[in-house]
Amino acid sequence: MKCRVCRGPAVIDVRRHNANFCGEHFLRHCREQVARAIKGHQMLEPGDRVLVAVSGGKDSLAVWDILVELGYEADGLYLGLGIDGYSPESERFARAFAESRGLSLEVVDLPSDYGYDIRSAARAAKRVPCSACGLSKRHLFDEAAGRGGYDALATGHNLDDEAAVLFGNVLRWQAEYLGRQKPVLQAGEGFPRKVKPLVRLGEREMAAYCVLRGIDYMVEECPMAQGNRHIGYKEALNSIEERSPGAKHSFYFGFLDRAADLFVPPEEERTPIGTCVRCGAPAGSDVCAFCHLLERAGGHLPCDGGDMPVELGRSVPESR
Ligand code: SF4
Ligand code: ZN
Ligand code: ZN
């Protein structure tokens, strides 16, 4: 097996590209794919300040590393979810990476800063844990990006993630979600620009990238992921990809090229967005979904430190 570029011994094959690479040229391939995604989807401009949502896993550490390598000013934000046996370890990986590279990492901890954790919030709000978690992450990452004056918020979603989400949304024809499934969502209505620079790279490539770059990452999955529908979608797509390399890429990028715009609602049909009376975040009603979750989970905003008042109107799920 020889490297496509230098003909030296290859360390990885990327069947989707029908190519093998040595370590050096594989790293270059990863950076090129990210640069191509950024340019092709107008995710970032040179010199942009980026906040990276960091989980301590391979994808978020890799995207942070690549953005810095490409010359962006990129800081990290780690969100502690209060999940025993997972959160403390993943925080250690995030901190160690930032320290080893001299990068700035902000840590927000749900139990100590907001008085709740994902397990108890999910129970109290009668949501599945991943739904309470997703809502918390969206709110707190958006808030931090705005507070820090960043040009964009970057996440480590890779091609496997995006193809699996698309697969699930297509299976149920969830038009509203399909309309938001682009790798870049422009800033607006109080939300920051959101970008997914890894959409041209798969899960296996990200693991190999971390190994070759000497990045230690949290290998164990979050225990709440068990039973998550997306794992089943990923397995289904992996078995298709096995027989037909490139299928995931064609599925996802074909959707972006040919169909994604059809699902974006026209301006006049969009729900008007106001401001949450409690925390000031964009909200579809008086109180945002995050403040409702806090209320049910017995949590508090960092400035409150106390109990939330009991009732305040219906919440509309945050839409991005
Ligand atoms: Fe959050 Fe669910 Fe992911 Fe765990 S698996 S980090 S609970 S979204
Ligand atoms: Zn080579
Ligand atoms: Zn709020």
Q: What is the CATH number of the domain that holds 132?
A: 3.40.50.620
Is residue 199 included in any domain, yes or no? yes
Is residue 132 included in any domain, yes or no? yes
The reply to whether 310 and 183 lie within a common domain is no
The set of residues, in sequence order, having a beta carbon less than 8 Å from that of 49 and lying 6+ positions away, is 72, 73, 74, 75, 148, 149, 150, 151
The reply to whether 212 and 154 lie within a common domain is yes
Ligand lying nearest the CA atom of residue 79: 1
Question: What are the tokens at 70?
Answer: 């490409």
In the chain, the amino acid numbered 223 is: P
Atom nearest to 55 CA in ligand 1: 6
The reply to whether 49 and 131 lie within a common domain is yes
In the chain, the amino acid numbered 260 is: A
What's the domain count of the chain?
2
The reply to whether 219 and 320 lie within a common domain is no
The reply to whether 265 and 284 lie within a common domain is no
CA of 130 to the centre of ligand 1 (A): 5
Ligand lying nearest the CA atom of residue 290: 3
Is residue 5 included in any domain, yes or no? no
Residue 227 above 90 pLDDT?
no
The reply to whether 227 and 248 lie within a common domain is yes
The reply to whether 258 and 275 lie within a common domain is no
Is residue 149 included in any domain, yes or no? yes
Pocket flag, ligand 1, residue 224 (CB < 6 Å): yes
The reply to whether 135 and 226 lie within a common domain is yes
pLDDT, tens digit, for every residue of 112-171? 999 999 999 999 999 899 999 999 999 999 999 999 999 999 999 999 999 999 999 999
Question: What's the whole-number average pLDDT of the chain?
Answer: 93
Strands 193-195 and 184-185: antiparallel
Is residue 86 included in any domain, yes or no? yes
Ligand lying nearest the CA atom of residue 313: 3
Is residue 213 included in any domain, yes or no? yes
The reply to whether 159 and 83 lie within a common domain is yes
Pocket flag, ligand 1, residue 134 (CB < 6 Å): yes
Residue 180 above 80 pLDDT?
yes
Give CA–CA dist 235/231, Å, rounded. Answer: 6
Q: What percent of the chain has pLDDT over 70?
A: 95
The reply to whether 182 and 308 lie within a common domain is no
- Furthest-apart CA pair in the chain: how many Å? 67
Is residue 14 included in any domain, yes or no? no
* Domain extent for 243: 34-270
**pTM of the complete model:** 0.93
| pLDDT, position 320 | 55
How many CA atoms, within 13 angstroms, populate the side-chain half-sphere of residue 95? 10
The reply to whether 237 and 307 lie within a common domain is no
Is residue 170 included in any domain, yes or no? yes
The reply to whether 162 and 251 lie within a common domain is yes
Domain boundary among 270, 292, 309: 270
CA of 161 to the centre of ligand 3 (A): 28
